[in-house]
A = this chain, B = another copy of it.
Amino acid sequence: MARSGDVVDARVQRSKAAVLAQTYELLSAGGIGGVSIDEVSRRSGVSKTTIYRHWPSRAALLVEACSTIGSAPPVPDTGSFGADLAALVEELAEQLRSARWAAVLPSIVDAAEREPELAELHARLHARLMAPFGVVTERAQARGELAADRGPADVGAVVAGPLFYRRWFSREPLDVAFVRRVVEDALSHFGVQDRST
């Protein structure tokens, strides 16, 4: 018996972990198009048969492998919108500079443009990445620190937009000066005095 749906067979855990790890590896290196089940099987030592036993299709495997992307770091709560935002932007910039998924996201965006199955994944990732901005924005609004006519969506666009642009389009380095300027500009948009560190 499979232990009444509670405990999972250790072999299954090993196999799934190995497969997911190698999938993520290939994903980082070659984007979505760089992942093939054959190659995952070769590298992980888990046979193709077993992979298909655990995931119904390649897409399902990809979705699960992406599920750890952008796992939210703790949302700062300094009491000031400026400092919260600065911390979040620093964090995002650091992720864009170094995180594995920064090289993967473009292929997800591309895939989302045509395959609905992956559009969902894109939506979830976007929501997870931007959630912290929503939190600090709403807190600031609750404190009356921020005008009510500028919602979380605006903050996301104004702050993440330039960062993303720089990372993927202009491909200039995301240096400290640029990041600081983005924060300052955003704060001046929203009529908040900058008092970040």
Contacts and interface: CB of A to CB of B under 8 A. Distances in A.
A29 B34 CA distance: 20
A33, A110, A123 — most chain B CB neighbours (10 Å): A110
Nearest to A125: B169
Interface in A50-93: none
A46 interface: no
Contact of A157 (B34, B162, B189): B162
Interface string A110-123: 10011000000001
A30 B170 contact: no
Interface size class of A (residues with CB under 8 A): 35 or more
B103 A113 contact: yes
A130, A182, A185 — most chain B CB neighbours (10 Å): A185
A66 to B, nearest CB: 14
A156 B166 CA distance: 9
Contact of A154 (B29, B33, B163, B181): B181
A175 to B, nearest CB: 12
A153 B182 CA distance: 13
A134 to B, nearest CB: 12
A192 B49 CA distance: 64
Interface in A150-166: 153-154, 156-158, 160-166
Which 9 pairs between the two chains have the least Cβ-Cβ distance? A161-B161, A161-B165, A161-B162, A106-B110, A157-B162, A107-B110, A106-B109, A110-B110, A185-B189
